[in-house]
Amino acid sequence: MKALLLDDTHPFLEQELQEGGLLLVREFQAPLEELVKSHSDAVVLIIRSRMKVDCNFLDQFPLLKVIGRLGAGLENIDVREATQRGISCLRVPEGNARAVAEHALGMLLSLLNHLPRVHRQIQEGQWLREPNKGRELQSLVVGIIGYGIMGSEFAKLLSAMNVRVLAYDKYKSNYTPDGIEEVTLDVLQSQADVVSLHLPLNDETNGYVEAHFLSKFKKPVHFINTARGPIVDTAALVEALDIGTVLSAALDVLEYEKTSFTSLFEGQIPNELKSLFQRDNVLLSPHIAGWTKESFEKMGQGLASKVLKAL
């Protein structure tokens, strides 16, 4: 059986697939028409974010049984169409959940203690203590929206620090362990000092955070997004920062990212993004929350196990 690898993977993944009896073919740059000429007999497809797997793509690989995504999301795969064709669509969110949780925590602590600003001020020769008085995380209420593998891992870290954590998940009930409070969205928006997004990107969540959503918070909040950029309307976030509805923002993902996550955008910088660049109360990172040495290893091993089990 042939496994077609269309992006960089991890040696653990490749080794275990080979030991499981698969013939590996690496084709990182070939266009679709070239892939079809030589590899239409592929049974397994391994991708990351670069390749869009839609109905037309699936038509070219009639023997396909498994699509493995080396990552947490499946938004670049037409899962409904693949499922109707009997193709298993696999992902490994458990592989980088801890990395995402630690990154979100680090960004939040940095903002609560004004680290981006004070670092710049010291570089400029300023030594300002009182204006940069921070907040202790234990004094704040953190609201988590989306209590899947990612959200629950972040909640676990916060709970271990004796932080009060509220969790909202539209599609679950009776899901939180002791120490985490399961609440409605209205309750979360009325009580949270910090809000962290842990949602998949789909038709329902695209643009989920917009002006009306942000206006519903009763207190000014610190905002974290380590999920997907298009979930947040950047213009609405900038406006909320301007009026003080949002006190600070930690963004590992941006609305303007390419779907491959390998670069930001091409062309002129949007005004909303320019505004984020200029703010001391905004901390940005280039979609690396889940990208650590350990998470890459865990995702490789985990995906190989799932692919072989599905076969």
Active site residues: 228, 257, 287
Amino acid at 84: Q
Q: Which two tokens stand for residue 211?
A: 């002006």
CB atoms closer than 10 angstroms to residue 306: 16
The burial class, CB within 10 Å (0-12 / 13-18 / 19+), for 91 is: buried
Q: Which two tokens stand for residue 60?
A: 């070219």
- Continuous segment of H or E residues that includes residue 308: helix 293-310
The burial class, CB within 10 Å (0-12 / 13-18 / 19+), for 142 is: buried
Distance of alpha carbon 258 from alpha carbon 148, whole angstroms: 25
User: How many alpha carbons lie under 13 Å from residue 55 in its C-beta half-sphere?
Assistant: 3
**DSSP assignment of 247-285:** EEEEESS-TT--TTSS---SSSPPHHHHHHHT-TTEEE-
Q: Which two tokens stand for residue 200?
A: 């998949």
Contacts of 112 (CB under 8 A, 6+ apart): 134, 135, 136, 137, 140, 222, 248
Q: What is the 3-state secondary structure (H, E, C) of 126-170?
A: CCCCHHHCCCCHHHCEEEEECCCHHHHHHHHHHHHCCCEEEEECC
